[in-house]
Structure 1
Amino acid sequence: MLSSSYSHPLPTAEHPPRGGVGTTISAVPHDVVRSHIIPCLDGASVAALSSASVELHSLCTDEHIWRDKCIATWRSFLDPRVQRVISTLPSGHRSFFSDSYTHLGLRRGLVDLPPSVATKELISAVDIYYKGEVIFSKVQETETVSGWFLCSPFRVDLLDPKESVSTRIPYNDQWDEETWVRNAEENLSLSWILIDPTRKRAANVSSRRPVSVHRHWLTGEVHVRFSTVLAGNRKRKSSSSSELVEFATEMVMAPEASAVEVREVSLVAEDMEGKNLGGEGSLVILTAAMGGGRRRGGGEERYRELEQRKREAREEKGRRRSSKAVDTAACVVAGGAAVVVSFWLCLYLCIRQKLVVIVNKLK
């Protein structure tokens, strides 16, 4: 709901509405929109407001507006490395917000990119929130041209194995697993923006809210998973459906004294069977998705779809294994029977031949 404190009278019998119908947002003076309405809106609402009319679109394209919205949304935005890339984008801060706030579209079909443009590095800008407050923020660069990256499983780790970050998340040793899970699901959110400086595009590969939370029975660590599901390349052009690929962020927390610390924040790419994708294949899928469409919401729904398809694939694989086992058993039985029959047949023939010889001698 858009509102303002400007001093124009509300429609009454003495002051009828303009046009005799009602006052619209387009009729509000531009200075009121610029100074009183836009500062009170979040970035998504400003984007919606800009589509209301040509005049409002012109007001909402101001670079200072979008810079303020980016600052209010992501702490990592202020990193100099991120700022340098934004300065090269076609519409600056507005382009960055448009790319990074919405979810990547699930573009099904063959993934193909021209080989003429090579992505040299990816910049990760990551922010983790608890009850809307930032508890972790980091920017990290990952080179994408070496043989090590292209041939190894795709993985980005923000913390070293022995590194941990203390947070303001309170710890209560009386909490059971259900309480831990509910607290994480309701209060944690994560933004993982991948920036491609070469192609001048960015994308948020996090579902914002957790799609899975569980507490390890032995260590007591809480594992929180965020996910974005993209369409992978079809193995055959004749295939009727494309593989789904999950870019999953794994966050591991553990209680320490009176608070909770973050021990792991990592991004991996997995196929339908849960196997890690290589760097080269993951990069192709990512860069293709960055150049595709965007949509708001749908992260958790796509994760549920992926899980359902994984279950169906496991069940189908199990049925194939069972069928193969039955066929193998049948072959073994048939083979064994053939060996037994052959043995007795050979024995019979040998005995018969000897009997014939003995009978001939007796004659």
Structure 2
Amino acid sequence: LRSIFFSKKVQGNSLLHFKIDLHLMLSSSCSSSTTEQASLSGINTVASDVLQSKILTRLDGASLAALSCTCSDLHSFCSEESLWRAKCSATWPSTLDTRVQSIISTFPAGHRSFFSDSSPFLSHFGEIDLSPSVDTTELISAVDIHYKDEVIFSRVQVAETISGWFLCSPFRFDLIEPKELISTGVSLTNHWEDDTWKNDLEDNLSLSWIVIDPTRKRAADVSTGKPVSVHRHWLTGEIHVKFSTIFGVGEKRRSEQVEFTVTVVLAAFSRKVEETAEMQIREVSLVAEDMEGMNLGGKGSLVILTAAMGEKRRRRAGREEGGKEKYREFMNRKTAKEEMKLRRKKETVMETAACLVAVVLLGFLLCFYLLIHKNMVAIMKKLIK
């Protein structure tokens, strides 16, 4: 017997408790009708309007998906398009854009399909099998940045993916113009000059970058949610916050890792009168790099993204921690590869220098031999005469 408990506030300050009992089918002799009746016995005690407006609206997407699997009635209630539209808009405010709304409406199950695609964490994948070509004509980026659960940045960008400029150039999406500054309204008081700002951003800043493929009607979040790296530039004093997703591309034995990195550059401007610093956003960008730090081209990055969207994925606990751990492993491998490359370069230089020394010595010995030989020949001629 499996029980699912819900305790949610309703009108006034009273609590509504209801229990759904679902008998698990442990043998083939158990009938499905028995399970259905056991589930409905608890549901029928709750009015449908209370269930829809007071309970289901307070659950997160993962809980709604789990609840919809218990019985047919709850599946019907949990599949309402308006319910999932509200979940998507509350989680990602950028999806309120009219263009994004029209594309989501074409998904197989509307907003429920979009939430299912965008909610799991892509970097839990293993290796991705790449298709030789893709038919995607454009990618839509829906980006939201939250600070202490408040939206400080929300923007939608459309990028075409069929021109030669995109396919041959390094893959990069920029949401902010070079001279543009986005005011966040966030004031950092009494801790901007010490190291507490780093912990503050790591704990309170979150980002979602959902890439939408209108052609294939798929979407994916390429962000880790929480930052994997926060550091301050030594020269400009700007804060660089990094969100990174690692993909394993190719076969297991010959797979190569690539990194899709979202970088947010923050600048703080002090107010001497109020003794506070206002945080402003200077850059929000997405790039793709390989293990050697080389930028991937638009064509290769597009193939990887579309393949990742098509892969099966599931939501797991510890999303942010898993992203940080995978990023650390990637950086350790990248550092080890750079050290090995540097060591090989040094060995090559030493081998080249040894060859040059050997050539010089050989030339010196040859010249010395020719000089001695010439002198010996002259001496022999004199002796003969």
TM-score (norm 2): 0.82
> Residues 274 and 36 (structure 1 numbering): CA distance in 2 closer, same or farther, change over 3 Å?
same
Q: Work out whether 1:289 is the aligned partner of 2:293.
A: no
Q: Which residue of 2 aligns with 1:260?
A: 279
> What residue number does 2:29 align with?
none
Q: How far apart are 1:33 and its partner, in Å? A: 4.7
What's the counterpart of residue 182 of structure 2?
A: 165
Which residues of 2 match residues 176-215 of structure 1 at below 5 A? 176-215=193-232
Kindly indicate whether residue 141 of structure 2 is the aligned counterpart of residue 87 of structure 1.
Answer: no
Deviation at 1:353, TM superposition (A): 1.2
Which residue in 2 is equivalent to 1:40? 58
Amino acid at match of 2:298: G
Mapped pair 1:240 → 2:253: yes
Is 1:112–1:284's contact at 8 Å kept on the other side of the alignment? yes
Q: Which residue of 1 aligns with 2:350?
A: 326
**Does the 8 Å contact 1:180/1:215 carry over to 2?**
no
Aligned AA for 2:6? L
Q: 1:3 aligns with which of 4, 7, 22?
A: 7
Q: 2:376 aligns with which of 352, 356, 361?
A: 352
Provide the residue aligned with 2:163 in structure 1.
146
Counterpart secondary structure, 1:98:
helix
Distance 1:85 1:107 in 2: 29
The question of whether the paired residues in 2 share the 8 Å contact of 1:250 and 1:266 is answered with: yes
Unaligned runs of 5+ in 1: 10-23
Conserved? CA contact 2:129–2:307, under 8 Å: no
Distance 1:315 1:51, change over 3 A: farther
- Call closer, same or farther: CA 1:44–1:168 in 2, change over 3 Å: farther
1:295 CA drift (Å): 3.6
Greater RCO structure (CA 8 Å; 6+ sep): 1
Q: CA deviation at 1:233?
A: 4.9
Instruction: Give the aligned partner of residue 276 of structure 1.
Output: 295
SS in 1 for 2:374: helix
Show the counterpart of 1:312: 336
SS in 1 for 2:127: coil
Report the counterpart of residue 29 of structure 1 in structure 2: 43
Deviations 1:32-56 (A, max 9, x none): 6544432221112222333445554
Residue aligned with 1:28, SS:
helix
* Aligned partners of 1:26 and 1:52 also within 8 Å: no
RMSD over aligned Cα atoms: 2.4
Q: Is the 8 A contact 1:125 1:192 kept in 2?
A: yes
Q: Secondary structure of the residue that 1:352 maps to in structure 2?
A: helix
* Kept after mapping to 2: 8 A contact 1:129/1:135: yes
User: How many Å apart are 1:127 and its aligned residue?
Assistant: 0.4
Distance of aligned partners of 1:27 and 1:351 in 2 relative to their CA distance in 1, 3 Å threshold:
farther
Provide Cα deviations, 1:291-347, integer angstroms capped at 9, x if missing partner. 012243232222112111101111211221122122222212221221122111111
Aligned-partner Cα distance in 2 for 1:291–1:81: 22
Whole-Å separation in 2 of the counterparts to 1:152 and 1:162: 23
Q: Distance in 1 between matches of 2:88 and 2:6?
A: 20
Structure with the higher strand share, 1 or 2 = 2
Q: How many residues are aligned here?
A: 342
Match of 1:19 in 2: none
Residue matched to 2:79: 61
- AA in 2 matched with 1:103: F
Unaligned runs of 5+ in 2: 9-14, 20-37
Task: Name which of structure 1's ranges 68-77 and 289-298 shifts more when overlaid on structure 2.
Answer: 289-298
Q: Normalising to structure 1: TM-score of the pair?
A: 0.87
